[in-house]
Amino acid sequence: MKQLVLPALLAALLAACSSTGGPEQTGAKVEDRAGSGSGVATVTAPPLSGSGIAALTDPNNILSKRSVFFDFDSFVIKAEAKPLVEAHARFLVQNPQMRILIQGNTDERGSREYNLALGQKRADAVKQALQLLGAKEGQIESVSLGEEKPRCTESTEACFAQNRRSDILYSGEF
């Protein structure tokens, strides 16, 4: 019996968590007016496996710093962020096989979709800076999370400032 339980649990767990990744997934049925529905689809993010390159996560290495912050209603990379951007550009030039995802973010004020577009401009600002410094277009995807993934959730200016940022993720981290 001992041997049977684990596989059964694993199978159930996999069934509960495996619905990531594919282009076609099954969501929950919602009652048609004539019938009744059942079951709920759960989508779960894949776990981080990491890029395997120590420099990217070594807290003493600038490459472990991944966030570029912006002023209110601004899409300009501030002087203080330049060393960070330059370091990542250098790393991408030296490691042409590496790919990154840049996620732009905004504070929570205003329309979600408009904020998604504003977050895209913050991601694109970092992408363009990296390209100017030699990274290849094909290494970089810039996307927006808008106001959906705040790092800080209070409605204060200090908090809003934390959320006006772009984050750099390397292959294996997204």
Partner 1 sequence: MTETVRYNSHPEYAMNKTLHALRLILATALAALSLAAHAQLSIEITGAGAARFPVVVPIFENESALPRGVSDIVKADLERSGLFNLVDIGPLSLPESRVPDLADLRSRGADAALAASVIPQPDGRYEIRFRLFDTQKQQEIGGQVLRMAPAQNRLTAHRIADFIYEKLTGLPGYFSTRIAYVVKSGARYELQIADADGANPQAALVSREPIISPAWSPDGQRLAYVSFEQKKPIVYVHTLATGQRQVVANFKGSNSAPTWSPDGQQLAVVLTKDGLSQLYVLSADGSGVRRLATSSGIDTEPAWAPDGQWIYFTSDRGGSPQIYRIPTSGGSAQRVTFEGTYNVTPRPSADGRLLAFITRNNGRFQVAVQDLTTRQTTILTDSTRDESPSFAPNGRMILYASESGGRGILAAVSSDGRVKQRLSVQAADVREPAWGPAQKQ
Residue 174's contacts (CB-CB under 8 Å, 6 or more residues apart) are 101
Among 121, 131, 152, 159, binds partner 1 (CB under 8 A): 121
| Nearest distance, CB of residue 103 and partner 1, angstroms | 7
For residues 91 and 65, the answer to whether their CB atoms sit within 8 Å is no
154-166-24-20 Cα dihedral, nearest 10 degrees: -70
Cα separation of 97 and 65, whole Å?
20
d(C-alpha 57, C-alpha 55), whole Å: 6
Contact between 41 and partner 1 per CB under 8 A: yes
What is the CA 65 to chain-centroid distance, rounded? 15
Cross-strand bridge partners of residue 147: none
Nearest-CA neighbor of 104 among 45, 149, 63?
149
Q: What are phi and psi of 170, to 5 degrees?
A: -95, 160
106, 120, 139, 166: residue in contact with partner 1 (rule CB under 8 A): 120
Q: Which stretch binds partner 1 (CB under 8 A): 1-9, 58-66, 79-87, 158-166?
A: 1-9
> Cβ 42 to partner 1, closest distance in Å?
5
Nearer to partner 1, 89 or 118 (CB): 118
Q: How far is the CB of 39 from partner 1 (least distance, A)?
A: 7
Applying the rule CB under 8 A, the residues between 68 and 97 that interact with partner 1 are none
Does residue 143 touch partner 1 according to CB under 8 A? Answer: yes
Binding site for partner 1 (CB under 8 A): 1-2, 5-6, 9-10, 12-13, 16-17, 20-21, 23-33, 35-37, 39-45, 101, 103, 109-114, 116-118, 120-121, 124, 141-146, 148-149, 169, 174
